[in-house]
Amino acid sequence: MKEFLGKKVTVIVDRPIGSKHSEYGFYYPVNCGYIPGNLASNGNEIDAYILGIYEPITEFEGKVIGIIHRKNNAEDKLVVAKEHHLYSKEEIRVLTEFQERFFDIEITALDYLKQSIRNTVRAIIRRGEEILAIEEKDEKKGKYYYLPGGGIEFLEKSNVAIYREIKEELECEIYDIKYKTTVENLFEINGIKCHEMCRIYELKVDDEIYQKEKIKITADIFPSVAKWINIKEFKEGKKLFYPKRLIDML
């Protein structure tokens, strides 16, 4: 789903604003439809909410400005709006609450990614000359890698956040957590400019993690894969790594 964020799509509207849900009886306060020819993980075409249009329509072309990930359901949703319209996570939550209130959801908004500085924790996990790194793909740059971890929650200490994030992502126990440094990371992925402050920790994990060559990570809104990569490949520029300033510390 993440490849849609920031992209233009065409939505075929099959549940126009003001229509009634055939099974549950609620009325749609926004236009809803699907992206033809694109299948979600449940095998159905990807559904989308259309924001900023206040009359019934049959088709809409706009930009994907958000993704709603349902933690307890396989049917994630896209949020689409006009080219220059952005909505915050809180606004998306309110406008889609008529249906999403029935699910445990996590929202990624283009507005948040473009305009916010994110505070994160990242973990250096070593296996000899290798480190564990998450692999992603950029449309122009190709594959790139970054350390496991994630966002620090409000009122959460960073040493607690790193324990929680790695435990969630790798589904294992964590040992010998040591703070290393803080790095400011500015980068651009798939046309989206990002800015984060990364608190870097080095730690150890259960033996079974070191025995796996690939680890599927499903705890985040975007499922991904972590791999053991030789540090030399990052230092020699053979593989792209973020934050680049951290490479000399590996």
Q: Examine residue 29 and say whether the peptide bond preceding it is cis (omega within 30 degrees of 0).
A: no
- State the CB neighbour count (10 A cutoff) for residue 131: 22
Please give the structure tokens belonging to residue 23.
């099974």
Please give the structure tokens belonging to residue 228.
């053991």
Q: Which CATH superfamily is domain 2-114 in?
A: Inorganic pyrophosphatase (3.90.80.10)
Cβ pair 50, 29 in contact under 8 A: no
Residue 35 phi, psi dihedral angles, 5° rounding? -95, 105
pLDDT at 54: 93
Cα–Cα distance for residue pair 166/203, rounded to 1 Å: 10
- State the CB neighbour count (10 A cutoff) for residue 110: 20
pLDDT tens-digit profile, the chain (250 residues) = 777 888 899 999 999 999 999 888 899 999 999 999 877 766 789 999 999 999 999 999 999 999 999 988 878 899 999 977 888 888 999 999 999 999 999 898 876 555 567 899 999 999 999 999 999 888 788 899 999 998 898 899 999 999 999 999 999 999 999 999 999 988 877 777 778 899 999 999 999 999 999 998 866 555 689 999 999 999 999 999 999 889 988 8
pLDDT at 222: 57
pLDDT at 141: 85
Cα–Cα distance for residue pair 35/11, rounded to 1 Å: 5
Q: Which residues contact 103 (CB under 8 A, 6 or more apart)?
A: 70, 71, 72, 73
pLDDT at 219: 60
pLDDT at 203: 97
How much is the pTM? 0.67
Q: What is the DSSP string of 145-164?
A: EE-SEEEPPTT--HHHHHHH
pLDDT at 19: 95
Cβ pair 250, 234 in contact under 8 A: yes
What residues does each domain of the chain span?
A: 2-114, 117-249
Cβ pair 53, 60 in contact under 8 A: yes
| Amino acid symbol at 104 | D
Angle, CA of 6, 8 and 9, to the nearest 5°:
120
Cα–Cα distance for residue pair 239/227, rounded to 1 Å: 13
CATH number for the domain running over 117-249: 3.90.79.10
Query: Which segments within the chain are labelled E, that is strand?
Result: 8-15, 31-39, 45-50, 59-70, 77-81, 105-109, 117-124, 126-127, 130-138, 142-146, 149-151, 174-189, 192-205, 214-217, 224-230, 240-242
